[in-house]
Amino acid sequence: MKRLGLLIVGLLVLGIVSYGFWVRPQPSLTPIGAQSFVERPDGARIGYYSSGTGPRVLLLASLGRSVADFNPLVGALNTAGYRTIAVESRLVGVSTQRSDGKQTDLFTLADDAVTAMIADGATGDDLAFAIGHAFGNRVARAVATRYPDNVGGLVLIAAGGAQKLQSGQRVVEALQNCFKWFLPPPKRLAEIKYAFFADPNPVPPSWVNGWYAPAAALQVAAVQYTPLADWEAAGDRAPMLVLQGAQDRIAPAKTTSDLLKASYPNRVHVVSIGPAGHALLPEQPDQIAASIIEFLGAQTAGIADVDD
């Protein structure tokens, strides 16, 4: 009887330890490319990953996510003749927060990305492209606003920003639960699935891991601190490719890509990707890569024509 009791206790301890392993924060995949760092004047240290040769393309990740989400796209872009600069947001992976105690806004994050590109060898005369996924699309638009002469085009994937989401909505609750590691794994997996993935698409292991709650809090505060009118238009000239998940619950077309197209009809081209939700990148990597490479090729050709 004593042995049975010890066995039961042992199994309970093993279950608790195993449960703790599965629910504690797990790091994301390692982004593709050579890792480098830039030091910012406010004390932040920003990590970035560079890979390939050709025109530079900035990669900016989703809320509280790593640029490792872009890994499949990085390979496709490098093969197509582009150099990718994947910049980790503050408090994600190897990147740190400022030490001066001041508020971080979207333009701070935009400056982080451009500083990384300059450290990679870009000059003031170079034109680059920026690809932003979900939250990263806001940073990409801030980059184009701040540096209009140096951005040849933007790709906005799951282009939220202007929509007004209510905190009580089911999808917002699911998004918040993605960061709650204490939830039972099946419950949390279901929340990630509902918030980010179309019904036919599985959640890959890389999306069960790699959620950085402190970074997400910083990014939400940065959006709240930066007036929408200051960045929404992405400057006044950069063409924008908007990749819209056909089953996106967080940023459906009627509150995102439709509004962008209506507001900037001569600059915005929308491509519907499906079946896909808000995650998009792991759901339809081939569709996304083909659309982006076609867009970048057209913009690069246009730049070359102007130079000639």
Side chain identity at 199, as an amino acid letter?
D
How far is residue 219's CA from residue 65's CA, in Å, rounded to a whole number?
A: 11
Q: Phi-psi region for residue 210, left (φ > 0), alpha (ψ -120 to 50) or beta? A: left
Count, residues in the chain: 308
* Residue ranges covered by each domain of the chain: 34-165+196-307
Give me the long-range contacts of 9-18 (CB less than 8 A, separation at least 24). Answer: none
pLDDT per residue of the chain (308 residues) written in tens, 0 to 9: 444 343 333 333 333 333 333 445 577 799 999 999 999 999 999 999 999 999 999 999 999 999 999 999 999 999 999 999 999 999 999 999 999 989 999 999 999 999 999 999 998 778 899 999 999 999 999 999 999 999 999 999 999 765 455 444 899 999 999 999 999 999 999 999 999 999 999 999 999 999 999 999 999 999 999 999 999 999 999 999 999 999 999 999 999 999 999 999 999 999 999 999 999 999 999 999 999 999 999 998 865 554 44
Q: How is 17-76 classified by DSSP, letter by letter? A: HHHHHHHS----PPPSSEEEEEE-TTS-EEEEEEESSSSEEEEE--TT--GGGGHHHHHH
How far is residue 97's CA from residue 225's CA, in Å, rounded to a whole number?
A: 16
Just give the CATH number of 34-165+196-307. 3.40.50.1820
